[in-house]
A and B are shown apart, each in its own frame.
Chain A
Amino acid sequence: MVVRGVAIYLIVFVLFRLSGRRTLAQITTFDFVLLLIVGEATQQGLLGDDFSVTNAVVVITTLIALDVAVSALQGRSERVDRIVDDVPLVVVVDGVPLEERLRKARLDHDDVMERARQTQGLERMSQIKYAVLERDGTISIIPR
C-alpha cells in the first residue's frame, strides 16, 4: 500500500506538471469536474480491494509524509523547488507583449488584459509596465 501510494503520488505529480502550469492552478468549472473524475479514478488504484480503515490510514499517512518530504526538499534545493513549483515568467515588458513566451505558456493578449482590467483597471496593453505569469498560474500586472 505504501508502494501504491508513492507510485500514484509520482504519476499524478508528473501528469499534472506536464499538463502545463495553468491547467489546475486557475480552476474553472470544467477543471473542477475533471479533478473529481481524476480523484475517483485514482481511488481504486490507491486502495485496491482493501477498504479497511487501516489501509486508509496507511495510504493517507504515506501521501502526507511524501508531501512534507517534498516541501522539505524544496526548502533545501532551489532546483527541486523549480521542478515542483515552476518559475515565474515575464510576459509583457513596457507595454510590449512577448509573443513567443505567451504562446509557449498558452496565454493570449485577452488573458493578460483580463487581469489588467480586474486588478488594475487598465484599458490598454500600453498601460502595462510588466505582466508576470506567476508560479501559481495567476498573472500579476504592474502598471506604468
Chain B
Amino acid sequence: MGDGLRVDEHIGFQRAMWRVERIGWALMAVVIAAALAGLLGPGPLSRSTAASDDGRLTVDYLRFARIGGTSELSLEVDAALVDDGRVDIVLGQSFLDGIDLRRITPQPAAEVATADGVRFTFDAAEPGTVTVSFAFRPEAMGRVRTLVAVPDGPRVEVPQLFYP
C-alpha cells in the first residue's frame, strides 16, 4: 500500500475474519440463551416430570445436568403401593454406575443389590403419598435412560443427558 509503507495486509483474510467474528457473536448469544433456558443444565426447559402408565409413580427430574453439578430425582409414590408400612424403589444399575449418589431423603431402611439395580426400602409411617428424593452428581457424560421402578409395580424410564 502506497510508496513507502510496507505492511503485510491481507484484507481478504481480514474481511473473512470479521464475518467469522459476527457468526461467533451470534453463537455466543445462542449459548447464553440456551444456558438461561436450561438446555445446558438446570433451568425451566430442563425441569421435567415423568409418570408411569398408571400414574402411580411420578418422577421429577432434570433433563440436562452436568458432571460435578448437583441434580435430583424426586419421586412420588402412590399410597396404594405402600405394603405393610414399607415401599420399595429400584434404581437402574446403568444410572447408578454413572453417578455419585449424595443423599437420599428419607434415609432408606435397606439397600439391596438386585439384577436390575439397587432396591431401596423406605419406611412409610402413615397412609398417603410417599415422597422420596435422590440427590446425586453425574460422573460420566452422555445420555442415560434411568430406570425408576417399584418391584412388580409401575416403572418409569427417565431420559437424561449429562454434559461434561
Contact = CB atoms under 8 A, between A and B. Distances in A.
Given A49-B68, A104-B18, A88 B8 contact: yes
Interface residues of B, number: 18
A93 B2 contact: yes
A90 B1 contact: yes
B1 A87 contact: no
A75 interface: no
Given A48-B68, A142-B5, A89 B24 contact: no
B contacts with A: majority SS: helix
Contact of B7 (A20, A48, A49, A88): A88
B17 A90 contact: no
B21 A89 contact: no
Given A48-B68, A93-B2, A87 B14 contact: yes
10 contacts: A14-B24, A48-B68, A87-B8, A87-B17, A88-B9, A89-B14, A90-B5, A130-B2, A132-B5, A142-B5
A67 to B, nearest CB: 21
B135 to A, nearest CB: 17
B109 interface: no
A127 B68 CA distance: 59
A53 interface: no
Contact of A87 (B2, B13, B24): B13
Interface in B1-59: 1-2, 5, 7-11, 13-14, 17-18, 20-21, 24-25, 28
